Amino acid sequence: MNKTKSSGELPPNYEELKKAVNRTSDWKERLDAVEQLGRWKHEQIIDVLTHRMKNDPVHQVQEAAFRKLKGFGQEVQLPPRKKGDLIKGAGKVLVRIKKSLPEGHSYEEFKEKLKKTRLDVYDAYEGDKGADFDKWLENAWASISGR
C-alpha cells in the first residue's frame, strides 16, 4: 500500500495528472488520477480532489476523491448519488441521436453513434451504471419513440 507523501511537494507529473483528473471523456482515467494525486498531501491537490468530489458525474470517482480527502484529515462529506441526468440534457442527447439515425437502425448503431458524438455522456453513464450500462442504455434507446 502506498503511503501519503506530505512533504508539501507536488508529484513530478502533477500537470499531467491534473489534466487527466479533469478529462470528461474517460472516467477510468479520472479515477486513476484521483488515486495517484491522493498520495501527495498538498493544498493544490486538496483543491483538485475537492472539485472532483463535488462535481464528477461518476459517483465512483467522487467516492475515491472523498476517501483521499478524508485520509488527508479534511472535513468533507460525500455528495449523494445524483438522480436524473448525470450530465445536463443527456436525455435530450439520446433522443437527438436516435432521431438522427435511419428508421430501423439497431441498438448497436445507436450505441456507437452516442460513443462517437458524445463520449462525455457515454462515459459518464458507463462509469455510473457499471455492469448494468448496456441494459440501461438499451432500455433508454427502446423507450425513445421513433420519428
Q: What is the DSSP string of the chain?
A: -PPPB-SSPPPTTHHHHHHHHT-TT-HHHHHHHHHHHTTB--HHHHHHHHHHHHH-SSHHHHHHHHHHHHHTT----PPPPP-S-SSTTHHHHHHHHHHHSPTT--HHHHHHHHHHH-HHHHHHHHHHHGGGHHHHHHHHHHHS---
Report whether pLDDT(118) > 50: yes
How far is the CA of 96 from the CAs of 2, 100, 116, in angstroms? 46, 6, 14
pTM greater than 0.85: no
| Percent over 90 (pLDDT), the chain | 84
Q: How confident is the model at residue 4 (pLDDT cuts 50, 70, 90)?
A: low
Residue 2: C-alpha distances to residues 14, 38, 71, 96, 146 (Å): 17, 10, 12, 46, 52
Q: What is the pLDDT of residue 86?
A: 87
Phi, then psi, of 11 in degrees rounded to 5: -65, 150
